[in-house]
Structure 1
Amino acid sequence: MPGRYGNGYEWYEMGFFAQWSEDNIIRVLCIDIPPPIRHGLQNTLAMAGSSPAELGDPFAMLYPLLDEVVTECDDNVWRVTKEARHENATFEALNNLSRHVRHLVEVQSVAIETWQALISQQRVNFSRLSDKVSERHKIQAIEHLEFQSQMMKGIRWRAQASSDRLDGEIQLAYNILASTDSQIMKSIALLTMLFLPATFVATLFSTTFFSFDEDGWLFSKAFWIYWAVVIPLTIVVLLAWWLWLGGSTQSIRLRLLHTS
């Protein structure tokens, strides 16, 4: 059950064990169930006191319990959906919420498989206990389980939609951060370009090739050595950068092809 901005989560590892005997005694052991399910089940059983259950059905006590499980799963998904739509959630909260939504999807997928197994087992039970349960109750019991299973499928798809929505918002946040970093890098590059010409001129005229004194400006005849060294060195640096960039791009493409 989620709290505000992905905090205050409580996960319950619910377990149910049912025992049925031929003298129509049913025992159901419920372990680690949240308070809403416990209170809802107590109210349901209290209201059903005037219409006793068909105790010849081994799953008779499971129907109200499973109804409460479906209701609780539906409420949990709606809570997560509301959290996912909140505009002021932080990036860390979105990641935490996405992790819990994935857990919800996994749990509900397993629950759907469990429901299908219950339906199959109930058909076997009714085939073996044909004289203990009326045909009308058999039809209603199977339809009830199938309805619950279909409800869980719908809840599971809503949880999956919330997970996809969160993934999209997280990806958008990544893109916004990358765009912000790109703008910062452009600003740094612009400042560098503004100061680079002046820095180059100041550095060049501060070399020993130039001399400024009272007699005037003296220029060294060996100034060509500066260009003879700088031009080839610049070409080598640009060539090394081009080769390194091409190799990095190729490795990234190969990695993407391998992972896909």
Structure 2
Amino acid sequence: MLSDVYRRSNGFFSFEDSYDKDGHLQSYNTWFRVLIKTINQDTSLSYTWHEMTFFSRWTPAGSVILCIGASLLFQNLFQEILSQMWSRIPSSEPYSLHVPIIEAIIAMQDTAVWSVRDAVRSVEKDRSRPARGFRDFLVLHDAARHAIHSFETLSVSMEAFGAMQQQLQDLSKSPRNGEPTEASYRIRVYIDSQIRMLRNLLLRSQSNKERMQNEIALAYNMIAQRDSQVMTGIGNAARLDSNAMRTIALVTMAFLPPTFISAVFSMSFFNYTPAQGSKAALWSVSDKFWVYWAFAVPLTCLTMAIWFWRQKLEGR
């Protein structure tokens, strides 16, 4: 149990029993591991991992349990719970010491689940902000990560304690141990009740995770909607620009023919001599005027051909 596989595990439960030749239970050993992640309520959503491993040994003479990695929070909770309920717990059973330990773990899991809930609720109340920055999305995904870890560790704890519950039932019903005693019945009642409480916390943890995923989906949908509105605005602006360009084109078309006529008649191919004395005004055209058309028409056709060719290439 000291291998890296078990030390890195997020939870497990196992046991070992020993009987004498007459079939009487001589010793009963258990070992299990629990992980709990609590979130500190600050702006950075810092967190604390509680990694605890327990070894218990029971003999008819008494029982002892070893807590490895127990945090100060667990120690205080365990001592408080032990002082409150130990007088009501039969101390002669192999699982007697497990009852206050599980109770302390439930208290820590309750704190962990509600710390995640507070983080989720903070995100939900912040959804009305008009825009989210880069840091806001980091906080959003950190809260989702904590919710996933909380659900994972609580699920594994449920599996471990569910296996413990099943083994406790098998132990009390074993023919080698005779009829179930009042003490074993009371221990089963305690642990059954604790398992139900853990199941309730698991449902709350699942709700936290789903609410967090819902907030992430909502955030991305809001971003998509905002981008759509921006694109709509760009489209409206482009339409206004298009209208302006059509106006400019219309004005250009209105002035282009007179400009062309003015340019043609201002060429040196044309000559106008005002009237002088008895001489009438004279308007003459050069016999080389065909040179203008000889260059203008081919260049115009070449320009149009190049334009159509480029349009065809862009269409591909």
Question: TM-score of the superposition, structure 1-length normalised?
Answer: 0.74
Amino acid across the alignment from 1:81 = R
Of structures 1 and 2, the larger Rg is shown by 2
State the match for 2:152 in structure 1: 106
Match of 2:75 among 34, 38, 49: 38
Match of 1:17 among 51, 55, 62: 55
Counterpart check, 1:28 vs 2:65: yes
Alpha-carbon separation, structure 1, partners of 2:209 and 2:143: 9
Alpha-carbon separation, structure 2, partners of 1:231 and 1:136: 99
State the match for 1:160 in structure 2: 206
Counterpart check, 1:94 vs 2:132: no
State the match for 2:181 in structure 1: 135
Q: How does 1:113-132 map to 2 (within 5 A)?
A: 113-126=159-172, 127=174, 130=177
State the match for 1:7 in structure 2: 45
| Aligned residues of 1:98 and 1:163 also touching (Cα < 8 A) | yes
Match of 1:66 among 99, 102, 124: 102
Unpaired runs of at least 5, structure 2: 1-37, 128-135, 265-292
State, as a whole percentage, how many aligned pairs show the same letter. Answer: 23
Q: Secondary structure at the match of 1:11?
A: strand
Query: What are the Cα deviations for residues 27-70 of structure 1, in whole angstroms up to 9, with x where unaligned?
Result: 11112233332112112223456x37533211111101101111
Match of 1:151 among 197, 205, 210: 197
Q: Secondary structure at the match of 1:216?
A: helix
Corresponding pairs, count: 230
Query: What are the Cα deviations for residues 108-161 of structure 1, in whole angstroms up to 9, with x where unaligned?
Result: 111111112111221333337746x97222222112212111111111111111
Unpaired runs of at least 5, structure 1: 241-260
CA 1:192–1:38 in 2, change beyond 3 Å: closer, same or farther? same
Deviation at 1:236?
5.5
Deviation at 1:11?
1.1
CA 1:189–1:224 in 2, change beyond 3 Å: closer, same or farther? farther
- In proportion to residue count, which structure has more strand? 2
Q: Secondary structure at the match of 1:54?
A: coil
Query: What are the Cα deviations for residues 155-204 of structure 1, in whole angstroms up to 9, with x where unaligned?
Result: 111111111111111111111112222222333344344445666868xx
Counterpart check, 1:191 vs 2:237: yes
Deviation at 1:224?
5.2
Alpha-carbon separation, structure 2, partners of 1:11 and 1:225: 78
State the match for 1:250 in structure 2: none
Alpha-carbon separation, structure 2, partners of 1:22 and 1:212: 117
Q: How does 1:168-247 map to 2 (within 5 A)?
A: 168-195=214-241, 216-217=262-263, 221=297, 223=300, 225-231=302-308, 233-234=310-311, 237-238=314-315, 240=316
Deviation at 1:225?
4.9
| Aligned residues of 2:89 and 2:187 also touching (Cα < 8 A) | no
Q: How does 1:42-61 map to 2 (within 5 A)?
A: 42-48=79-85, 51=87, 53-61=89-97
Q: Secondary structure at the match of 2:50?
A: coil
Alpha-carbon separation, structure 1, partners of 2:242 and 2:302: 22
- In proportion to residue count, which structure has more helix? 1
Amino acid across the alignment from 1:12 = H
